[in-house]
């Protein structure tokens, strides 16, 4: 389980990051995402075409291919420091 200053390379092919200044970033093939024990991981299961949802705690191991991921945080040079990582499942 990567934690405490972990770095992961995230393909940005399907990754759209909304930076706090409302600027969309789609400029590189990979970005570095760093997270630690304070990063909040959770899964949002979405029902009825988005009318309802349920959140539950998650962890790094819950990341899988073909899952929708929203990452909140900040950039420090070319590294994104995640404060929140939401995994979305559609049911």
pTM assigned to the model: 0.67
On whether the CB atoms of residues 84 and 72 are closer than 8 A, the answer is yes
Output the pLDDT for position 67: 83
**Which tokens in the block code for residue 34?**
């760093």
Output the pLDDT for position 22: 45
Alpha carbons within 13 A on the beta-carbon side of 48 = 4
Q: Which residues contact 72 (CB under 8 A, 6 or more apart)?
A: 82, 83, 84, 85, 86
Output the pLDDT for position 31: 77
Question: Any idea where the domains of the chain sit in the sequence?
Answer: 6-90
Output the pLDDT for position 65: 80
Low-confidence ranges of the chain (pLDDT < 70): 1-30
- Nearest-angstrom CA–CA distance, 89 and 91: 6
């Amino acid at each position: 389980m990567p934690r405490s200053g972990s770095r992961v390379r995230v393909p940005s092919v399907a990754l759209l990051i909304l930076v706090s200044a409302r600027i969309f970033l789609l400029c590189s093939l990979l970005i570095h995402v760093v997270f630690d024990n304070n990063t909040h991981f959770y899964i949002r299961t979405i029902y009825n075409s988005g009318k309802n949802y349920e959140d539950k705690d998650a962890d790094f191991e819950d990341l899988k291919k073909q899952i929708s991921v929203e990452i909140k945080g900040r950039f420090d040079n070319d590294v994104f420091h995640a404060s929140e990582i939401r995994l979305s499942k559609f049911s």
